[in-house]
């Protein structure tokens, strides 16, 4: 069985060869690498392996819809007096490759339009009075330069790309001179349609996807295409086990959501003693063929498991503990509409001045252009060259992300408070170190001995935070309801000011002081449940960290009541808590 390429660069080169054989069928590649020699060398290799006439387009991050999909050519329309269509980039790249720069910051709506084109194999244009369907089959290269944990490729876009390559750690010395035969790639491309794949090979691909916890059937289909491309590359007429191993390692390893379970050890029976062959005319000579030591499914699964990135499953475990789901790209603050500030969020019909909306002159002329001949014929009087009516006015709306404030509500009561406070102090200081980049703020509320206190108002100042946290006391009863009410009131105040609050509640859930400051465990727990329901009504994002020596039912009940992400973290240090908070609210 042929083993997949060992190094990251060798795997990337092999993936590029398969992509050059079947670019539209495999969808493309998610390439994570900073701008540099390694990334340029891989892109240059792919471009050299494609047909000489294959289009190659670089798509900028902030590309407009009319340039991406096509639309009205305003200058040509005004000159001709009739609607003139403009071809978009995705239509121009039919049969070639579109390279998306800074794809980790791609707007969700732009990613959705690209995904629709990849799925349908055509560009559907229905805008500005134009309607057209243009067939286009292309491969997409998503360049990912993300350095922040909350910046990642849109999930739907990444799912359509067969391969993933991480060249961040590849050094210049690992990149050797390319010795790939271009004629062999062209021959493999021509023979791809005649490659056959046996049912047992298809079953091995599906079994590998199931063992790795991959739920999408796209991975199976892309692995099948990659196996056929591998067979064509090595001059085989039918897909072999080596091709399936290579395909699963390149297509499925980075999609794994679980470690494949080891095969059950069956009780092996002692083989019968070898029998002496009978001497005679009918005796068959011994053969050198032997059955393989392992079945095909196990060999393919081992090849795919060996290619799993070392940190992938660790990150997936954290995501699963936090409720699952991939984080969205961009910063964590919620979006809000604005009339004048932020990034453009689209063009809409309306009059300038309403809600501080700005007139979009180009969009206004674009809306008026298709009607110029009709309006000129309907008007006998002299009129300006361009006739613009009130229904043509278009305004631009903007959107901006709100500032995020993470509120730590700390149970500072009891004998174990000193340990929890030490963890929280370190986590707050680590979070503050990222605030200059993420533009977040941090606040701390401590509740103990019948009252809750705002120890640290929302701030980015690391000096101020250290000074406030240094003298934080501990001990006394647990007024859990009072602490939760104080955190909710602070979150509502932050939201009224235009911010996005998030709450991290550190407690073991053992309330023993009521809102009135009176002791009584049963009444205190009832007050805490009521406070949890009030938090849920505000739709506040909450992470409840159970700080008890073991997971407690009371904390889990509170988490369910407030709709929070529950995480038992009895022995976490400051760094672990910091990672959990950042991952949960990314």
- End-to-end C-alpha distance for the chain, whole angstroms: 41
Residue the block writes with tokens 């559907």: 124
Q: What confidence tier does 67 reach under pLDDT thresholds 50, 70, 90? A: confident
Lowest-pLDDT range, 43-47, 147-151, 243-247, 558-562? 147-151
Complete DSSP assignment for 400-419: EEPPEEEEEEEE--STTHHH
SS3 of residue 256 by DSSP: coil
CA angle 466, 469, 472 (to 5 degrees): 155
Q: Rounded distance, CA 556 to CA 565, Å?
A: 10
CA angle 404, 408, 413 (to 5 degrees): 170
- Arch. (CATH architecture) of 28-161: 3-Layer(aba) Sandwich (3.40)
The reported pTM is: 0.58
- Helix residue ranges per DSSP H, 135-198: 155-159, 182-191
Q: What confidence tier does 113 reach under pLDDT thresholds 50, 70, 90? A: very high
| Cβ-based neighbours of 130, under 8 Å, separated by 6 or more | 70, 71, 72, 83, 85
Q: How far is CA 21 from the centre of its chain?
A: 27
Average the pLDDT over 92-99 and give the result.
94
Q: Rounded distance, CA 348 to CA 339, Å?
A: 12
Q: What confidence tier does 1 reach under pLDDT thresholds 50, 70, 90? A: very low
Summarised one tens digit per residue, pLDDT across range 17-59 is 999 999 999 999 999 998 888 899 999 999 999 999 999 999 9
Dihedral (CA of 243, 249, 251, 256) sign: positive
Paired tokens of 37: 């020699």
Higher pLDDT, 475 or 384: 475
Q: Rounded distance, CA 479 to CA 380, Å?
A: 81
pLDDT at 288 over 50: no
Average the pLDDT over 559-582 and give the result.
72
Paired tokens of 163: 């391969």
Q: Do 1-6+182-257+296-324 and 28-161 agree at the fold level?
A: no
How many residues does this entry show for the chain?
A: 586
Yes or no: say if 448 and 484 are a contact pair by the CB < 8 Å rule. Answer: no
Q: 3-class secondary structure for 33-96?
A: CCCCHHHHHHHHHHHHHCCCCCCEEEECCCCCHHHHCEEECHHHHHHHCCCCEEECHHHHCCCC
Summarised one tens digit per residue, pLDDT across range 120-178 is 999 988 876 778 889 999 999 999 987 554 568 888 999 999 999 988 888 887 787 66
Yes or no: say if 208 and 248 are a contact pair by the CB < 8 Å rule. Answer: yes
SS3 of residue 441 by DSSP: strand
Q: What confidence tier does 421 reach under pLDDT thresholds 50, 70, 90? A: low
**If we measure between CA atoms, which residue out of 15, 94, 90 comes closest to residue 59?**
90
Backbone phi and psi for residue 314, each to the nearest 5 degrees, phi listed first: -65, -40
Summarised one tens digit per residue, pLDDT across range 179-206 is 788 899 999 999 999 999 999 999 989 9
**If we measure between CA atoms, which residue out of 557, 586, 563, 433 comes closest to residue 488?**
563
Summarised one tens digit per residue, pLDDT across range 306-341 is 666 655 545 544 444 434 443 333 344 554 454 455
Higher pLDDT, 523 or 573: 523
Average the pLDDT over 387-407 and give the result.
77
Average the pLDDT over 379-396 and give the result.
74
CA angle 161, 166, 171 (to 5 degrees): 145
Residue 354, pLDDT score: 55
Residue 3, pLDDT score: 46
**If we measure between CA atoms, which residue out of 349, 355, 346 comes closest to residue 389?**
349
**If we measure between CA atoms, which residue out of 358, 430, 443, 453 comes closest to residue 403?**
443
Summarised one tens digit per residue, pLDDT across range 219-240 is 999 999 999 999 999 999 999 9
SS3 of residue 448 by DSSP: strand
Range with the largest mean pLDDT of 229-233, 443-447, 474-478: 229-233
Average the pLDDT over 579-583 and give the result.
63
Q: Rounded distance, CA 402 to CA 337, Å?
A: 10
Q: Rounded distance, CA 30 to CA 517, Å?
A: 57
DSSP strand E in 113-212: where? 122-127, 130-135, 139-144, 163-166
Pairing label, strands 565-568, 451-459: unpaired
Compute the mean pLDDT over every residue in the chain, rounded to the nearest whole number: 78
Q: What is the dihedral of CA 279, 280, 281, 284, to 10 degrees?
A: -30
Q: Spelled out in words, what is the top-level CATH class assigned to the domain 1-6+182-257+296-324?
A: mainly alpha
**What residue segments make up the domains of the chain, in order of their start?**
1-6+182-257+296-324, 28-161, 335-401, 404-584
- Say which CATH topology domain 404-584 has: Rossmann fold (3.40.50)
Complete DSSP assignment for 431-449: HHHHHHHH-EEEEEEEEET
Q: What confidence tier does 573 reach under pLDDT thresholds 50, 70, 90? A: low
Average the pLDDT over 6-19 and give the result.
89
DSSP strand E in 282-369: where? 335-338, 343-349, 358-359
């Amino acid at each position: 069985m042929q083993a997949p390429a060992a190094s990251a660069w060798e795997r990337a080169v092999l993936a590029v060869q398969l992509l050059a054989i079947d670019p539209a069928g495999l969808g493309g590649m998610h390439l994570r690498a900073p701008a540099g020699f390694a990334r340029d060398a891989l892109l240059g290799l792919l471009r050299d392996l494609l047909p000489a006439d294959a289009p190659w387009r670089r798509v900028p991050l902030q590309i407009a819809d009319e340039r991406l999909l096509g639309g009205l050519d305003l200058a040509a329309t005004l000159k001709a007096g009739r609607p003139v269509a403009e071809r978009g980039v995705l239509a121009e790249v039919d049969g070639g490759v579109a390279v998306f720069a800074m794809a980790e910051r791609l707007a969700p709506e732009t990613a959705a339009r690209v995904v629709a084109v990849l799925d349908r194999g055509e560009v559907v244009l229905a805008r500005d009075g134009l309607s057209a369907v243009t067939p286009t089959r292309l491969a997409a290269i998503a360049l990912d330069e993300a350095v922040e944990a909350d910046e990642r490729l849109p999930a739907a876009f990444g799912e359509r790309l067969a391969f993933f390559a991480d060249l961040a750690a590849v050094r210049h010395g690992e990149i050797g001179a390319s010795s790939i035969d271009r004629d062999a790639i062209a021959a493999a491309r021509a023979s791809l349609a005649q490659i056959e794949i046996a049912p047992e090979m298809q079953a091995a691909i599906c079994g590998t996807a199931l063992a790795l916890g991959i739920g999408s059937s796209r991975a199976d289909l892309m692995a099948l295409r990659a196996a056929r491309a591998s067979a064509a590359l090595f001059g085989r007429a039918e897909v072999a086990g080596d091709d399936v191993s290579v395909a699963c390692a390149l297509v499925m390893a980075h999609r794994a959501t679980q470690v494949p379970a080891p095969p059950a050890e069956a009780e092996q029976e002692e083989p019968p003693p070898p029998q002496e062959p009978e001497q005679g005319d009918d005796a068959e000579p011994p053969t050198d063929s032997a059955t393989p030591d392992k079945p095909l499914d196990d060999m393919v699964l081992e090849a795919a498991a060996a290619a799993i990135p070392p940190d992938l499953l660790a990150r997936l475990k954290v995501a699963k503990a936090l409720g699952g789901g991939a984080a969205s790209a961009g910063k964590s603050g919620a979006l809000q509409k604005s009339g004048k500030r932020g990034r453009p969020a689209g063009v809409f019909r309306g009059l300038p001045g309403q809600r501080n909306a700005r007139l979009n002159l180009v969009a206004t002329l674009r809306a008026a252009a298709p009607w110029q001949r009709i309006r000129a014929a309907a008007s006998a009087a002299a009129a300006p060259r361009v006739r613009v009516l009130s229904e043509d006015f278009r305004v631009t709306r903007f959107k901006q992300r709100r500032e995020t404030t993470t509120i730590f509500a700390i149970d500072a009561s009891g004998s174990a408070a000193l340990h929890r406070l030490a963890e929280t102090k370190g986590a707050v200081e680590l979070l503050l170190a990222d605030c200059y980049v993420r533009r977040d703020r941090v606040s701390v509320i401590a509740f103990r001995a019948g009252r809750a206190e705002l120890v640290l108002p929302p701030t980015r100042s690391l000096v101020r935070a250290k000074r406030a946290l240094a003298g934080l006391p501990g001990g006394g009863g647990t007024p859990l309801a009072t602490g939760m009410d104080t955190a909710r009131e602070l979150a509502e105040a932050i939201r009224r000011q235009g911010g996005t609050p998030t709450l991290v509640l550190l407690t073991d859930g053992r309330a023993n002081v009521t809102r009135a400051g009176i002791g009584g465990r049963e009444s205190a727990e009832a007050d805490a449940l009521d406070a949890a329901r009030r938090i849920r009504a505000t739709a506040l994002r909450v992470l409840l960290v159970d700080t008890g020596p073991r997971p407690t039912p009371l904390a889990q009940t509170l988490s369910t009541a407030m709709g929070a992400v529950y995480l038992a973290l009895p022995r976490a240090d400051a760094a672990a808590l910091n990672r959990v908070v950042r991952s949960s609210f990314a």
